[in-house]
């Protein structure tokens, strides 16, 4: 069952029923100001940091679902409705929500009035613009009243929902003309306020929530709206809100445009005041003049669309697979960009007040967006590396505002250092920019301890070399990629952190997954050494890698698949010997990607075992059989009911690992099957089961052990975005940047007769046509570059060209 | 305007309109299980700790106000209603909420059906009992359907509202017969679950919120209730709830009782399971058998009422002032007990997830409840003292579960140590139990550093002696009683703690308030020394006290009133020289209570200044003129808009200080005026202005500088409870325990012709009659004890008696 459809021309998903299984959201903003926007106008806005500078108040896990947003009420006689359905939930004669790239459009019609609300965050200005077009589509004059409404957050989202003893007394506003200034705490240490304004005269306003809603009132029927008369309330403490009343009169066929702006405004500390308790309004007025006409608002939206079209033009594909093209050309890349912007901070499942940026998360996100904005990728890499410790280990998280490591969680996640190599390798392959290796980069943000960035990579690589366990496999520390596999913690009491309780880092527990990573990214490290002329070091690294490969085959192979780990007691994890959790997905993915034992058939065997033991119709589960009880020696993974999260859920993040791994063993049909089973566009038809947005990935889909098998959770902010784009673009379509040029190495389903793609790479645009006349799954039979045959599948880089035509024939 | 009335016979406040200005709540529970209960059945339950073991989910600051509770829906044809009005808000034919001592009764009638819901937490069992009596008052048969409903919290209230990435996947329940088991996280480290049950067979159940409410559904109209048909949903992740469906058929005049139980159940770690994923239900079943008949439930309620009547019988008064009697005999003492139970943790303004027990708060609370349950007071004193540091300073807060000091906030609130003397003196005066001084008591919870408790008092006293500033006044540290007067912090950035940012403890900033405390409680310390035979130490202490008195008169007097403090720059705070904040309430109260300069007229002068500068019709404001801007050198106090909180709000806590101080200068009329102006029963008639409950105090009433002048905030958990009871019982009525007996020293309005009181004291019951034939405000002309005249106003203690008759004539 679908609740809408894709509009590929406009790069939109068009939702045609407000009753989506869960709120389906979009992200407005790509610089400093962000708004989460659901298909019924729910959501909230923040400036830079979703915890510390939240403009508007949203209530997670509320009843009704998705409560609070930036709402417009139309009171037309006795009928009160919203263009986005919520919060009145008045049935509309017509409803559409178009989620586009950085904007959302809500089209509502009721009783002859049409309302088209276009919400976006313009480039270069810290505000959300709402253009509302009201049209009288009836053949009678229409007189009705419009009320805007937003509830302000008192800035710190955490404090806002806990400290009422203080917060109920601090709210303050000013009202000047059509602009409401929310200035809570501006009187003291803040030098910023929020504004909510409209480009027309108003007939009334409200700024006090209880006045607007009435006693025990509800968003679905605010007293002011129901009576049709604003109270001109001035908030003093309690809950400041912003509402404008505008009386509208439209002749038949007549339209009227209104432009509302919700903005964040800062003043310099010595320019805060215009007078006693009167804020300096100049910067607010300057912001508002940027959008004070319909034309200016339209131009800002056009600029935003041009920005996104430019970004997405770096990689496009055209094939007979409409859904493939749609995902690659639009939604994969869009989700990658949003994930880069947000890290894991603010979604409808991440409350925005928790952890900062993840070291591992950010490195993986790089894999998805590096081709879009390499400059910001470069900065991100250096920011991350600056939080690294001198021994090569890393803070597991860091704060986006300060860019400093988060001491609460600390280090000890032993895969982290290797991800820095992964991200850097991707950056260098994309850009050819080795100069990043020379950047002087601190450790633990201490400039006095800085070295060049190459030394950071060296210490990252050596961190694994220096932290091996009894079998010679890497020690796991607090956890590896699977944050919930905690082999050194042994927590017995509720409330303890599964990751940081207990010894956390022990001498025995080893990770086969990290071993796979080490082999895979160790090869990149060796390649980078070699490009830097460090031949000896490259050779030494390769020796370590070979040794690790052998160790995995000796101690990390269970007969039919790769082991997951050894626990503190040196017992196997993810083995046929185990009672539960006999086989895990992660080492199968990464050891095959690393090609450990490839030529001896280990990789194919592992892939067959995944298919046999972990496959479901909705994707590949993380492990089997699920854990039915808590194992104190395994940690958080066993705390979840079976089928959810890491305990045998379909963790979308590592499905593309298997798809990539299948391309390594050359099984294009299977790689494709794995890709499409969790791919949003391919499962749009089961939206009533999948429930989250059909245009982006979720972190997790309930596995077959769960009652809600097939139901997804935690959409939008997931490493799945980057990994899937990597999978489909570089391994399935096979257009893969390498150190010395662009490789074309498709591994596609036999039924696909080819495709064409456009790929910008180091300033050159490649027009690539792949033909698959004989239904191959992998293998390049021939390649021509600008008409000239080339050996192999690497296009030698030639920076003197602007456009290059490439033809590849598979076979 | 009133929204109800007092029922003194039943010791209840009877609310007759559900639309109170704010939710008016009650506290059920006085041991380990607690429920907050509003007049419309809103609220939540927890076991011991409102943050860590919260049973049910409540949403603070929500829309509609007061969302979520333990609700019962009656679906009678097309009409759906609740006995407590919320959440359907269906207009009732009759509505009453009776808040009694530890129980609340909701009486709703609609269309011939009467529902009487009696909610209470029984003594000795960790559960809330809801007895629901349904009566058909019509003359036709009535067939209708009852649905219960509660939403479970996933135990940790903080995590519950932030960590959705995990929490949406952990919810689990079991259903057995009529009992719903909420067992989220029981599979792992918890050994406790919640139950919601009813003592009859059910016709259906729901445990999944979305199933019960329907998609985008609301509490006011759950889909299951509206359709009249439970779905028998079994929660798996998302939001577990508990709902029973019971089909009811009543003949005209027929009644039916149902007993619902919401309980908290723990199992031993090795007795958690009955089978794979099946909880051990035995203790739950044992709990339920305690309340499985109407008779058992009624008996449990009767036992509860007997408990409270016993508690409140220790002090009663009878006079011509009905409101005085009502407050003294019921509500003052009730609020004292609730405040003792909760400290400052869980109210409708304290979210229950913040700070622990306050050192200063708990010591002050003692003053109010020590006569009710001296044994628990003794334990509390020793718990508090165990968090003290070896130098006499103290953790400002400590955790109720661990009883350990809270390192986040630390120490440095320089009034804290003196409050320990205050609480101990009150305990000894009440009980005559000097043995507490011998208790071996640790420092910082370290038993190896323990001394006897007397040494704790010594170090408390000496802490002030050893921390004096440039004028010889006590150094203020991070703050004194006024947590918002931060003279050593200088915070410039939002989010910094006003109390702990910056140097926090400096060499210059001094507090005249602490000086007053030192003189007042120093005298108690000297008296305790003397009773222990430490005559030399007593004399030395008295020397220090005299010196401090002189210092206050030399450096702490501003001409017309006592100064508040000196800031870091040695500038005066609370002086006529100041631009804003010229006069503060606190030093006027405490320096007069300490009788500093009494004989020389300073005290009377200070009281006159309070009346002249700080008085308003709704109470005495904390300071004047209010601060209109942020003063970085004064801290949080200047962060509030004028008229709110410490910035010139009517801080109820220190109004009784002034009332007591007025008794010191002998002005009974004025002491009475100050008492009655903020006293709930006396301002019941302006409930539409005051807004909070008319039966308990609030922390703060908006001062004259605020737009909402007269509006109260933060009701229930406030030191006002203890201080006011101290004021009215010991200083206005004047029945005051002292080291060697009970003093009778009334200071009453001239218009009051006397009163009689019953007072239990050290096992003896005193029947005291005070006559005021000549309209005196203070002074005992004569006193007889059991018919024998006695000199002075002290009743010599005679433990051989059980009952003592006392007659006092004022004049």
**By the CB < 8 Å criterion, does A599 face chain B?**
no
Return d(Cα A300, Cα A307) in angstroms, integer: 11
Catalytic residue among A160, A480, A483, A745: A483
Q: Is A65 on the interface with B (CB under 8 A)?
A: yes
In chain A, which residues have their Cβ closer than 8 Å to the Cβ of B342?
Answer: none
Beta strands in A608-752 (DSSP E): 615-616, 619-620, 623-624, 650-651, 698-701, 712-715, 735-738, 741-744
**A217: nearest CB among B64, B155, B630:** B64
**pLDDT value at residue A531:** 95
In a domain, A63, yes or no: yes
Rounded CA-CA distance B666/A563 in Å is 85
Own/partner pairs for B559-562, CB < 8 Å, 24+ apart? B560/B605, B560/B606, B560/B609, B561/B587, B561/B588, B561/B605, B561/B606, B561/B609, B561/B610, B561/B613, B562/B512, B562/B516, B562/B587, B562/B588, B562/B591, B562/B596, B562/B602, B562/B606
Query: How far is residue B385 CA from its own chain's centroid?
Result: 21
Task: Compute the distance between CA of residue B397 and CA of residue B296 in angstroms, rounded to an integer.
Answer: 41
**Which ranges constitute the DSSP H helices of A103-262?**
157-160, 164-167, 209-213, 223-227
- C-alpha–C-alpha distance, residues A169 and A171, integer Å: 6
Summarize the confidence of residues B311-315 as an average pLDDT. 96
Q: Say what angle helices B585-593 and B602-613 make with each other, to 10 degrees.
A: 150
What is the rounded distance in angstroms from the CA atom of residue B697 to the CA atom of residue B713? Answer: 9
Average predicted confidence (pLDDT) for chain B: 97
Alpha-carbon distance of B112 to B393, in angstroms, equals 64
Residue with tokens 């000097």: B434
Backbone angles phi, psi at A384, to 5 degrees: -65, -50
Task: Identify which of A237, A158, A218 has the alpha carbon closest to the alpha carbon of residue B65.
Answer: A218
pLDDT band at B405 (very low <50, low <70, confident <90, very high): confident
Helix segments in B598-650, DSSP class H: 602-613
* Rounded Cα gap, residues A104 and A113, in angstroms: 20
Backbone angles phi, psi at A310, to 5 degrees: -65, -45
> Is A407's pLDDT higher than 90?
no
Beta strands in A377-482 (DSSP E): 397-398, 440-443, 446-452
Q: Phi first, then psi: what are they for A323, rounded to 5°? A: -70, -40
pLDDT recorded at residue B588: 98
Instruction: Answer whether B188's CB lies under 8 Å from A492's CB.
Output: no
Q: Looking at the partner chain, which of A59, A353, A491 has a beta carbon nearest the beta carbon of B59?
A: A59
Q: Which residues of B touch A62 (CB under 8 A)?
A: 59, 62
Within 8 A by CB and 6+ apart from B447, the residues are none
Active site residue A483: yes
pLDDT tens sequence across A116-135: 999 999 999 999 999 999 99
Burial of A760 (0-12, 13-18, 19+ CB in 10 A): middle
Residue A42 DSSP symbol: B
- HEC profile for B549-569? HHHHHHHCECCCCECCEECCC
- Percent of chain B at pLDDT exceeding 90: 96
Contact residues on chain A for B165, CB-CB shorter than 8 A: 349-350, 699, 714
pLDDT per residue over A338-381, tens digit each?
999 888 889 999 999 876 788 999 999 999 999 999 999 999 99
Q: What is the CB neighbour count within 10 angstroms for residue A526?
A: 22
Q: What's the rounded Cα separation, in Å, for the pair A757 and A324?
A: 12
CB atoms A218 and B63 under 8 Å: yes
| Beta carbons of B193 and B265 less than 8 angstroms apart | yes
Flag if A707 and B629 touch (Cβ within 8 Å).
no
Domain of A804, CATH number, reads 2.60.420.10
Chain A nearest-CA distance from B189, in A, is: 5
pLDDT in tens, B774-810: 999 999 999 999 999 999 999 989 999 999 999 999 9
Q: Are B160 and B154 in contact (CB under 8 A)?
A: yes
Q: Is A249 helix (H, G, I), strand (E, B) or coil?
A: strand
Q: What are phi and psi of A32, to 5 degrees?
A: -115, -25
DSSP state of B394: B
In sequence order, which residues have a C-beta less than 8 Å from that of residue B427 and are 6 or more positions away? Answer: B366, B370, B374, B377, B378, B381, B433, B436
Facing B215 at nearest CB: one of A19, A216, A714: A19
Residue A773 lies in a domain: yes
- Could you tell me if residue A270 is inside a domain? yes
DSSP A330: I
pLDDT, one tens digit per residue, over A649-686 is 999 999 999 999 999 999 999 999 999 999 999 999 99
Cβ proximity of A57 and A152 under 8 Å: yes
Q: Give B255's contacts (C-beta < 8 A, 6+ positions apart).
A: B133, B134, B135, B136
Check CB contact of B730 with chain A, cutoff 8 Å: no
Q: pLDDT tier at B398 (50, 70, 90 boundaries)?
A: confident
Q: Are residues A568 and A508 in contact, defined by beta-carbon separation less than 8 angstroms?
A: yes
pLDDT, position A80:
98
Torsion, Cα A265 A269 A271 A273, to 10 degrees, reads: 80
- The percentage of chain A sitting over the pLDDT mark of 90, rounded to a whole number, equals 96
- Chain B interface mutation, best of A90, A165, A272, A399, highest count of B Cβ atoms under 10 Å: A165
- How long is chain A? 811
Is residue A252 domain-resident? yes
Q: Report residue B665: phi and psi, to 5°.
A: -90, 5
Question: What is the spatial distance between Cα A231 and Cα A213, in angstroms, rounded to a whole number?
Answer: 11
CA distance B678 to B657: 13
Band of residue B401 on the pLDDT scale cut at 50, 70, 90: confident
Residue A400 confidence class, pLDDT cut points 50, 70, 90: confident
Q: Read off the tokens for A255.
A: 């339209």
Domain assignment present for residue A438? The answer is: no
B66/A217 touch (CB, cutoff 8 Å), yes or no: no
Which of A310, A344, A371 terminates a domain? The answer is A310
Q: Which of residues 504-563 of B touch A (CB under 8 A)?
A: none
B440 in a structural domain? no
Q: What angle do CA B193, B198, B204 make, to 5 degrees?
A: 95
Nearest C-alpha neighbor of B387 from the set B322, B439, B441: B441
Inside any domain, residue A72: yes
CA distance B418 to B411: 14
Distance from CA of A194 to the nearest CA of B (A): 15
d(CA B691, CA B684): 10
Query: Which pair of structure tokens corresponds to residue A212?
Result: 């607007």
Examine the pLDDT at B410 and tell me if it is beyond 90: no
A interface mutation test: which of B54, B152, B169, B222 has the most A CBs within 10 A?
B169
State the first-to-last Cα distance of chain B, in angstroms, to the nearest integer.
39
Residues B656-674: tens digit of each pLDDT: 999 999 999 999 999 999 9
For residue B68, give how far its alpha carbon lies from the nearest alpha carbon of chain A (Å): 9
Q: Report yes or no: B415 and B513 within 8 Å, Cβ to Cβ.
A: yes
| Helix, coil or strand: residue B593 | helix
Are A220 and A108 spatial neighbours (Cβ–Cβ below 8 Å)?
Answer: no
Question: A310, A345, A373 — which closes off a domain?
Answer: A310
Q: Tell me the residue range of the domain where B249 lies.
A: 4-310
Model pLDDT for residues B601-650, shown as the tens digit of each residue: 999 999 999 999 999 999 999 999 999 999 999 999 999 999 999 999 99
Q: At A262, is the secondary structure helix, strand, or coil? A: strand
Write down which residue in A281, A310, A339 finishes a domain: A310
Q: How many CB pairs under 8 A join A and B?
A: 202
Closest approach of B168 to chain A, Cα-based (Å): 8
Q: Is the pLDDT of residue A64 over 80?
A: yes
Residue from B102, B115, B109, B190 nearest B146 by CA: B115
Q: Which of residues 201-220 of A touch B (CB under 8 A)?
A: 209-210, 213, 215-220
> In B464-512, where do the E strands start and end?
510-511
- Distance, in Å, from the CA atom of A581 to the CA atom of A600, rounded to the nearest integer, reads 26
d(CA A314, CA A370) in angstroms, rounded, equals 11
Residue A236 C-alpha, separation from nearest chain B C-alpha, in angstroms: 7
Q: Helix, strand, or coil here: B316?
A: strand
CB A476 within 8 A of CB A487: yes
- Residue A401's pLDDT is 74
- B357 domain-assigned: no
Calculate the average pLDDT of chain A.
97
Alpha carbons B761 and B743: distance in angstroms, whole number: 11
Of A277, A495, A702, the CB nearest to B52: A495
Cis ω for the linkage preceding A625 (within 30 of 0): yes
Q: Which residue of A has its CA nearest to B165?
A: A349
8-state DSSP, A636: G
Closest B-chain CA to A18? B216
Residue range A213-236, pLDDT digits in tens: 999 999 999 999 999 999 999 999
Residues 221-260 on A with a CB inside 8 Å of B are: 234, 236-237, 239
Residue whose token pair is 């808000």: B89
To 5 degrees, how large is the angle CA A503–CA A504–CA A506? 75
Over residues B210-237, the mean pLDDT reads 97
C-alpha–C-alpha distance, residues A610 and A614, integer Å: 5
- Tokens 């940091």, residue located: A49
Closest CA to A672 of A751, A756, A609: A751
How far is residue A645's CA from residue A483's CA, in Å, rounded to a whole number? Answer: 11
Rounded to the nearest 10°, the torsion over CA B737, B742, B748, B751 is 150
Flag if B188 and A349 touch (Cβ within 8 Å): no
What pLDDT digit, counting tens, does each position of B72-119 carry?
Answer: 999 999 999 999 999 999 999 999 999 999 999 999 999 999 999 999
**pLDDT beyond 70 at A44:** yes
Contact between A155 and B629 using a beta-carbon 8 Å cutoff: no
Number of domains in chain A: 2
Determine whether the interchain pair B641/A216 forms a contact, defined as Cβ–Cβ distance below 8 Å: no
Under the banding of pLDDT at 50, 70 and 90, the label for residue B355 is low
CATH number of the CATH domain containing B69: 2.70.98.40
CB contact under 8 A, A67 and B64: no
Least confident of A406-420, B27-41, B272-286: A406-420
What number is the average pLDDT over the span B523-551? 98
């Amino acid at each position: 069952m679908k609740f809408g459809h894709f509009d590929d021309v406009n790069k939109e998903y068009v939702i045609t029923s407000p009753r989506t299984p869960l709120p389906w959201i979009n992200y407005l903003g790509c610089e400093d100001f962000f708004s989460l926007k659901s298909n019924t106008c729910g959501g909230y806005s923040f400036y830079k940091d979703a915890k510390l500078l939240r403009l508007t108040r949203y209530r997670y896990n509320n009843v009704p679902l998705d409560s609070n947003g930036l709402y417009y009420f139309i009171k037309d006689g006795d009928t009160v409705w919203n263009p986005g359905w919520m919060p009145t939930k008045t049935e509309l004669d017509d409803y559409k929500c178009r989620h586009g790239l950085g904007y959302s459009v809500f089209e509502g019609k009721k009783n002859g009035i049409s309302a088209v609300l276009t919400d976006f965050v313009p480039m270069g200005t810290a505000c959300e613009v709402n253009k509302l077009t009201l049209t009288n589509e009836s053949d009678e004059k229409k007189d009705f009243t419009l009320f805007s409404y937003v509830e302000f957050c008192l800035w710190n989202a955490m404090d806002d929902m806990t400290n009422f003893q203080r917060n109920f007394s601090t709210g303050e506003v000013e009202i000047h003309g059509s602009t409401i200034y929310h200035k809570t705490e501006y009187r003291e240490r803040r030098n910023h306020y929020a504004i909510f304004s409209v480009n027309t005269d108003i007939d009334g306003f409200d700024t006090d929530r209880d006045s607007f809603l009435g006693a025990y009132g509800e968003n679905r029927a605010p007293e002011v709206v129901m009576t049709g008369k604003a109270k001109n309330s001035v908030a003093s403490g309690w809950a400041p809100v912003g509402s404008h009343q505008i009386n509208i009169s439209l002749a038949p066929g007549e339209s009227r445009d209104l432009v509302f702006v919700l903005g964040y405004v800062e003043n310099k500390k010595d320019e805060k005041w215009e007078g006693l308790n009167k804020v300096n309004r100049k910067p607010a007025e300057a912001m508002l003049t940027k959008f004070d006409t319909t034309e200016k608002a339209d131009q800002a939206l056009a600029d935003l669309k041009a920005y996104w079209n430019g970004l997405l033009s770096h990689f496009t594909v055209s094939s007979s697979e409409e859904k493939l093209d749609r995902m690659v050309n639009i939604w994969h890349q869009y989700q990658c960009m949003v994930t880069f912007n947000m890290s894991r901070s603010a979604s409808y499942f991440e409350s925005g007040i928790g952890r900062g940026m993840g070291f591992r998360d950010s490195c993986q996100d790089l894999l998805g967006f590096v081709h879009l904005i390499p400059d910001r990728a470069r900065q991100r890499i250096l920011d991350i590396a600056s939080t690294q410790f001198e021994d090569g280990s890393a803070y597991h998280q860091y704060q986006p505002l300060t860019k400093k490591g988060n001491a609460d969680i600390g280090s000890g996640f032993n895969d982290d250092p290797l991800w820095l190599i992964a991200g850097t390798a991707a950056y260098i392959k994309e850009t050819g920019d080795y100069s990043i290796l020379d950047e002087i980069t601190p450790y633990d943000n201490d400039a006095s301890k800085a070295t060049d960035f190459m030394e950071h990579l060296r210490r990252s690589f050596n961190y694994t070399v220096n932290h091996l366990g009894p079998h010679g496999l890497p020690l796991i520390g607090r956890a590896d990629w699977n944050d919930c596999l905690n082999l050194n913690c042994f927590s017995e009491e509720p409330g303890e952190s599964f990751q940081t309780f207990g010894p956390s880092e022990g001498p025995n527990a080893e990770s086969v997954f990290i071993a796979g990573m080490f082999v895979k990214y160790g090869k990149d490290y060796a390649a980078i050494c070699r490009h830097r002329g460090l031949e000896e070091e490259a050779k030494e690294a390769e020796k370590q890698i070979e040794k690790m490969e052998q160790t995995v085959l000796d101690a990390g192979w269970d007969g039919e698949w790769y082991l997951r780990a050894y626990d503190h007691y040196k017992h196997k994890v993810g083995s046929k010997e185990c009672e539960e959790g006999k086989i895990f997905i992660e080492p199968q993915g990464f050891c095959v990607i690393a090609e450990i034992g490839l030529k001896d058939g280990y990789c194919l065997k592992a892939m067959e075992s995944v298919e046999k033991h972990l496959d479901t119709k909705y994707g590949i589960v993380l492990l089997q059989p699920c854990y039915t009880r808590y194992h104190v020696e395994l940690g958080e993974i066993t705390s979840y009911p079976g089928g959810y999260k890491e305990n045998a859920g379909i963790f979308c993040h590592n499905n593309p690992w298997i798809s990539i791994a299948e391309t390594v063993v050359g099984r294009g049909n299977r790689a494709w099957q794995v890709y499409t089973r969790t791919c949003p566009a391919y499962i749009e038809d089961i939206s009533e089961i999948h429930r989250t947005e059909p245009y982006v990935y979720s972190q997790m889909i309930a596995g077959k052990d769960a009652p809600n098998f097939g139901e997804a959770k935690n959409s939008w902010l997931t490493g799945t975005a980057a990994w899937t784009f990597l999978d489909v673009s570089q391994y399935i379509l096979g257009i893969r940047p390498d150190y010395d040029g662009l490789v074309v190495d498709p591994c596609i389903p036999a039924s696909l007769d080819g495709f064409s793609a456009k790929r910008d790479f180091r300033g050159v645009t490649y027009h690539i046509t792949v033909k698959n006349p004989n239904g191959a799954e992998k293998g390049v039979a021939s390649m021509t570059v600008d008409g000239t045959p080339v050996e192999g599948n690497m296009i030698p880089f030639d920076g003197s060209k602007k456009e290059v035509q490439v033809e590849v024939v598979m076979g």
